[in-house]
Amino acid sequence: MADLLSDDEISDQLPEEWDRDGDEIVRVYEFDDYLDGVNAAQMVGEIAESQFHHPEIIIRYEELEVRLTSHEEGGITDADIEMAELIESEQSA
Ligand SMILES: C[C@H](O)[C@H](O)[C@H]1CNC2=NC(N)=NC(=O)C2=N1
């Protein structure tokens, strides 16, 4: 069971493109067309399965929202930060 991160740890470790929303970290990606967002959701899902840590993924027209929290711990842990970093590195590749 990972430890919950403190407010300072979260703000220090959160990738710059991500925001904190209570017990979640969130990132919204914008796309030129709907299917690019759908394909990005597939990529996020594959990372989630590889890490066995699963975000909420919301697909909208030309937009993808990714929300992460550690349900078992009831807040934000290293697992969420690591997932955000992995997603960020894949999405920007
Ligand atoms: C049993 C439990 O659901 C699993 O251990 C994993 C699955 N994926 C998960 N994903 C997230 N975001 N938080 C969890 O606590 C979590 N737990």
* Mean pLDDT calculated for residue range 21-46: 97
Q: Tell me how far apart the alpha carbons of residues 22 and 78 are, in angstroms, rounded to a whole number.
A: 16
| Ligand 1 atom nearest to 55, measured from its CA | 12
Question: DSSP code of 69?
Answer: -
Q: How confident is the model at residue 1 (pLDDT cuts 50, 70, 90)?
A: low
What does pLDDT average to over the chain? Answer: 96
Q: How far is the CA of 33 from the centre of ligand 1 (A)?
A: 31
CA angle 62, 39, 49 (to 5 degrees): 125
* Mean pLDDT calculated for residue range 55-76: 98
Q: How far is the CA of 8 from the centre of ligand 1 (A)?
A: 24
Q: Tell me how far apart the alpha carbons of residues 61 and 58 are, in angstroms, rounded to a whole number.
A: 10
Which residue(s) pair with 67 in the sheet?
Answer: 26, 56
77: domain CATH number is 3.30.1360.20
What's the confidence (pLDDT) of residue 2?
Answer: 78
Domain housing 85: 7-91
* Mean pLDDT calculated for residue range 24-50: 97
What's the confidence (pLDDT) of residue 22?
Answer: 97
Residue 64: its H or E element: strand 63-68
Residue 2 lies in a domain: no
**How many domains does the chain divide into?**
1
- Here the tokens at position 63 are 């937009």
- Here the tokens at position 55 are 């975000």
In the predicted structure, residue 38 carries a pLDDT above the cut 80: yes
In the predicted structure, residue 92 carries a pLDDT above the cut 90: no
Is the distance from the beta carbon of residue 52 to the nearest atom of ligand 1 less than 6 Å?
yes
Q: How far is the CA of 32 from the centre of ligand 1 (A)?
A: 32
pTM for the structure as a whole: 0.95
